Structure 1
Amino acid sequence: MEQVIKELVEHTNQKLSTLPSKTRLLISVSGIPGSGKTTLARRVTEGLNAVSKIGDVAAMIPMDGYHLTRATLSAMPDPIEAHARRGAPFTFDPVSLKLLIQQVKAPLEEEERLIYAPSFDHAIKDPVEDDIKILSSQRVLIFEGNYLSMGTDVWGDIARLFDELWFVEVDRGIARERLIARHLKAGLADTREAAAKRADENDLPNGDYLVANGLKPHRVIRSVEDQEYARSG
């Protein structure tokens, strides 16, 4: 894992060095639920900042902030289905996500200009507006989320805005076990059976949809089975 992160950090730094000083490098990290994309994105972001000589040069932006709120799901024609399928493409707001990516893709200005992105509060299970601050000095933005390499509808427009698409590949069985453990830990299920049902009926079908409709990534990273990856998305 350490060698993979080192190589990705070196690759990203080299790519950044070829860009004009007012241009950002936008990378997406996608994969099926339980693939480990969150850990990969975070580790690469931390690695870039650790070797930077000018302060934080990278930031990670999770797609989770673009979940539709629980209130919005409750107002849908079939609220029970909407809540049960939370995490499926239709339970996100890709239009707002696209607007953010277009905003950060614009050439940087001479003066500091803060841009804000939403986060997701797992305690209240809803997004938090303007919770992630994006600085002008952060020229590498690593977005992570299931559908950031998908080619359909607005998601396809989003994917094509990135400079590079990274896809984290994982065995379906490993992803399933990670999801079961995650759902139990987060209190989304009381029993292993209930957690497995959620994985089998929502998470893994969502991953299958991504794989069936994904664009060809620039890089495929194989997920490894270590303790940190086992906890990640």
Structure 2
Amino acid sequence: MTDAVQLDDLISSAGALAAAGHRAILGITGAPGAGKSTVGRRIVDALGPDRAVLVPMDGFHLANSVLLSNGLRQVKGAIQTFDDAGYANLLLRIRDQNPGEVIYAPSFDRGLEEPIAGSIPVRAEVPLVVTEGNYLLAEAGAWPLARGCLTESWFLDPDRTRRHNWLITRHMDYGKSAEDARLWALGSDEDNAKLIESMAHRADRVLRVKGL
């Protein structure tokens, strides 16, 4: 069942996780264009850097050179185009982080369409790590190991037409023509969305964020 919530409600829920007295990892997932990065960033900005840090799954995109050599460039974003074991092992390290330790996570540069290693410092004293991405609830490969590290998982389920329109706009913002953006959003992205939406029942909460 999908619950309609305000973003402020989610910030309050995340704040409660941050106040629990131990390291918490909040996973935010959903189809491409569901608003995962927006919700994650708004939560972290609201809580502040001493209480929360954002670690996106997109930092584990395989490099374009690897995708090209394996014939996967045209399906970039599909589940097989990520380093699932690398992501799972990062979450294990973050979950079990030692006092005083700094762990460096990768980010993803949408302008370059490439991951950037070691660009997000995760300090041990920050209680909440928010991680967001498409395949947090997948059952194949190392994804279940990653899911086992999550304190709580949220699946975002926005209006489909609104999600498609946002995706098309994003692809155009990063250089695709209107036609190519539409083909990608309704083709490769939508194929991925169908797989991701089949995982929603594994989430702790399924949410539609009002006004997003």
- For residues 95-110 of structure 1, the aligned pairs below 5 Å read 95-109=85-99
SS across alignment from 2:202: coil
RMSD: 1.7
SS across alignment from 1:153: coil
2:119 pairs with one of 131, 137, 145: 131
Distance 2:158 2:139 in 1: 20
Deviation (angstroms), 1:58: 0.4
SS across alignment from 2:116: strand
Deviation (angstroms), 1:137: 2.0
1:70 pairs with one of 64, 74, 86: 64
The yes-or-no answer on 1:48 pairing with 2:47 is: yes
Counterpart in the other structure of 1:113:
101
Distance 1:120 1:107 in 2: 23
Does the 8 Å contact 1:150/1:215 carry over to 2? no
Deviation (angstroms), 1:10: 2.3
The yes-or-no answer on 1:181 pairing with 2:169 is: yes
Does the 8 Å contact 2:78/2:192 carry over to 1? yes
Structure number, greater radius of gyration: 1
The yes-or-no answer on 1:146 pairing with 2:134 is: yes
Counterpart in the other structure of 1:28:
27
Deviation (angstroms), 1:224: 3.7
Comparing both structures, which one devotes a greater share of its residues to strand?
Answer: 2
Alpha-carbon displacement from aligned partner over 1:170-192 (angstroms, at most 9, x marks no partner)? 122211111111111110x21x2
5+ unaligned residues in a row in structure 1: which ranges? 50-54
Distance 2:186 2:141 in 1: 25
Counterpart in the other structure of 1:85:
75
Does the 8 Å contact 1:28/1:149 carry over to 2? no
Distance 1:25 1:157 in 2: 16
SS across alignment from 1:156: helix
Does the 8 Å contact 2:61/2:83 carry over to 1? yes
Does the 8 Å contact 2:18/2:51 carry over to 1? no
Counterpart in the other structure of 1:13:
15
SS across alignment from 1:143: strand
Deviation (angstroms), 1:166: 0.7
Deviation (angstroms), 1:154: 1.6
Does the 8 Å contact 1:149/1:159 carry over to 2? yes
5+ unaligned residues in a row in structure 2: which ranges? none
1:94 pairs with one of 74, 84, 102: 84
Deviation (angstroms), 1:214: 4.3
Runs of 4+ in structure 1 deviating by more than 6 angstroms, as ranges, are none
Aligned residues: 208
TM-score by length of 2: 0.91
Distance 2:45 2:183 in 1: 35
Does the 8 Å contact 1:61/1:143 carry over to 2? yes
SS across alignment from 2:112: coil
SS across alignment from 1:176: helix
Distance 1:177 1:74 in 2: 28
